[in-house]
Amino acid sequence: MSASSRPRRSPGRGDHQRWELDGWWDPADAFDALYRESGHAIWLDAGPGAHTGFSYLAGPTERSRFVNASVPDGTVTVTVPGDPLSAPVTSRGTIFDFLRDDLAAPINASGPHASDEPYEPDEPDEPDEPHEPHEPDEPDALSDPDRPHDPDTVADSEPGARQPGGFHLGWVGWLGYELGAQTLGVPLPPSRYPDAALLEVDRMLVFDHTNRTVTLLARRQPGESPHLAEDWASAVRARRDSARAMRHALPGDAAATAATAATAATAATVAATVPTAAADAALEHPASPPRARWRHDATHYSALIGRCQASIAAGDAYQLCLTNEITVDARPNPVAAYHRLRAGSPSHHGGLLRFGHTALLSASPEQFLTVGPDGGVSSKPIKGTRPRSGDPATDADLRAELGSSDKERAENLMIVDLMRNDIGRVAELGTVGVTRLFDIESYAHVHQLVSTVEARLAAGLTGTDAVESCFPAGSMTGVPKLSAVSLLSGLEDGPRGIYSGAFGYFGRDGAVDLAMVIRSIVLDRAGASIGTGGGITALSVAAEEIEETRIKAAALLTALDSVPDLVSAKG
C-alpha cells in the first residue's frame, strides 16, 4: 500500500482515521447487518426517515473498555468486554470523576493514553464483582485482526478534513436517575440496574441525514496496529455490499445466495459466542401476550397526586414530577423491540444501547444537555403534553390548547428557571439566557411544550462538570430540586432506575450530547420496565394527570405487545 493511498490522520484529534462510504445506507439496515447480534452495541438514532441530524452506530473492539457505576458502593468498575482474560478493576469515586480523568488524559499518536494501562485510581479497592456480571463479549465482528487487508474498499481521508457530526469518538451510555444521590446528596433507593454504564467507542459509523453521507471514524488504541482500523473499514464496506446484494438480487441469483450464506454464517458465529444475543433471539415470540403491572394503580396514583398538592400548599415545593413504573413480563429481542418502537413512536433523540443483559430502548423527544467543543451549553426542557388526533381540526385545537394552558406554561417556566440556575453554576457570568420560550413541538403521538436555555461554560470547566451540575434534569424532579427529589423519594415507593436519567455521548473533544431517558423501555433478564409520569402543580387535575401517564406509555407498551388498564393493572 503506497503512502499516498493510506488513510491520513486528521490534525488535532490524535490518531484518527476517516473514510466515506459511497452512497447512502439506512442506519436501521446498517445496524442489523453489523451489530444486531453483538452483546454490546450502540445506536444513537435521528429517527426513521430523518432529513436532518446525525445517527451513530458502534460496537466494541477487542480493546474497548466498558465502565459501570454503583451509587450504593460509591464505585466505578472497568472491564474489557472483548477480552475474557481481563479482570474487572473497581475504584472509589463517581462516574463523573472517572469521565473527568479519562477525557482529560493526553491524546498522543498511539491513542488517548500515554500508556497501555487501563484506568486505575491511586488507591484501588480490591476487585469486586461489577454491578452487571462480567461475561466475555464478542468484540466487534468487524475488528478481526486476522481479516485480510483490503485497502481498495475504502476511501482516503483528506488531511484537515472536517469531521462529520457532533460526536468524534469517546464514551456512549446512560446515567441513571439514582446518581442524584451523589450529585444532590439525597438518599435514594438502590436500583437493580447499573447506575451508569458507558462503552468506549473508538470505531463508529456516522450517518449525516442532511447530506445523505455515511462516514467511518476510527482512533487507534495504544499499541494497536494501524492496519486494524483499515481492515475494519474494509469489512464494513464488504458487509454493506453483501446486505445490498441480498436486498436487490433476483431469486436464484448466485451472488445473492452466496451473500445470504455468508451473512447467515457470520450471524451464527457471533450468536454462538454471545450468549445474551442468542438467548434474547429465542425469546422474541412469547406463547401469550405479556402481563404488565403498574407500581401504583389509578386510585393510589390519584392519592399520591393529592399528597404532592398538599406539599405544594405547605410551601415545600412549587412543582413535583411524580412518576410511575410499569413492569412487563416480557423478554423480547431488544433489536426487534426497538424497531417496533421507532416505527410506532419516531423521535429525533432515539436510541438503542445494549450492554450485555441490559438494554435501553428510547424514543425520547427531549434534549437534556448539549455542550459544544467551544463551550456552548444548551438545554431544551419539556413540560406540557397533549395527545395527537387523526382529525386535523381536533389536532389543531389540542395544539392550541396546550400553548394557551396557564398550568402548562407555569410548569414549563418553573423548569426553565431551574435549568437557568443549574447551568448558571458552571457558566460564564452573563451568558445564561432563554432563547426560546413555550415552543410547541409535535411528534407522532403527542404535542409537547418546549423551551431552550443557553449559556457558555466558564473557563476551566468541562462538559462533564456541566452535566454533574444539572443532573438529574429539573424536568424530571420538580422545583426546588433538592426538596422535590427528597419528597418524591418518599412517595414513589421504589427507584426510578435508568428512567429519568440521561443517555448519549461524552466526546474526547469536549462535546457532550445527552437526551432524557423518557418514552423508554429497559430490558434485562427479569423482564421489561417502563417509567411514565408528569409534573404536578396546585392546578393539576388527577384524572388528567393519570390520562397523561397512559398517553406517554401507550407506544412503549405496544412495542412490547402489552396494553394494560391502569385502573386494574396493579396486582
Q: What is the pLDDT of residues 321-362, one digit of tens each?
A: 999 999 999 999 999 999 999 999 999 999 999 999 999 999
Position 287 scores a pLDDT of 61
Residue 326 is which amino acid?
A: I
553 pLDDT higher than 60 = yes
Mean pLDDT of the 3-30 span:
69
Helix, strand, coil % in the chain, rounded to nearest 5: 30, 25, 40
Q: What is the pLDDT of residues 228-263, one digit of tens each?
A: 999 999 999 999 999 888 877 745 544 444 444 444
Mean pLDDT of the 375-391 span:
93
Mean pLDDT of the 546-559 span:
94
C-alpha–C-alpha distance, residues 321 and 6, integer Å: 54
C-alpha–C-alpha distance, residues 559 and 571, integer Å: 22
Q: Which residue has the higher pLDDT, 274 or 200?
A: 200
Mean pLDDT of the 301-316 span:
98
Q: What is the pLDDT of residues 116-140, one digit of tens each?
A: 333 333 333 333 343 444 444 555 5
* Closest residue by Cα to residue 82 from 118, 120, 135: 135
C-alpha–C-alpha distance, residues 499 and 362, integer Å: 10
33 pLDDT higher than 90 = yes
Q: What is the pLDDT of residues 172-227, one digit of tens each?
A: 999 999 999 999 999 999 999 999 999 999 999 999 999 999 999 999 877 788 78
Q: Which residues of 234-268 are buried (b: 16+ CB within 10 A; e: fewer)?
A: bbbbbbbebbbbbeebeeeeeebeebeeebeebbe
Q: Supply the pTM of this predicted model.
A: 0.84
Q: What is the pLDDT of residues 524-546, one digit of tens each?
A: 999 999 999 999 999 999 999 99
Residue 168 is which amino acid?
A: H
113 pLDDT higher than 50 = no
Please, are residues 323 and 492 in contact by the beta-carbon 8 Å criterion? yes
**What domains does the chain contain, in order, with CATH numbers?**
294-331+374-559 (3.60.120.10)
Position 445 scores a pLDDT of 82
Q: Helix or strand or coil: residue 571? A: coil
Please, are residues 32 and 334 in contact by the beta-carbon 8 Å criterion? no
Q: Which residue has the higher pLDDT, 520 or 160?
A: 520
Mean per-residue pLDDT over the chain, rounded: 84
* Closest residue by Cα to residue 143 from 69, 68, 38: 38
- DSSP lists the bridge partners of residue 54 as 208
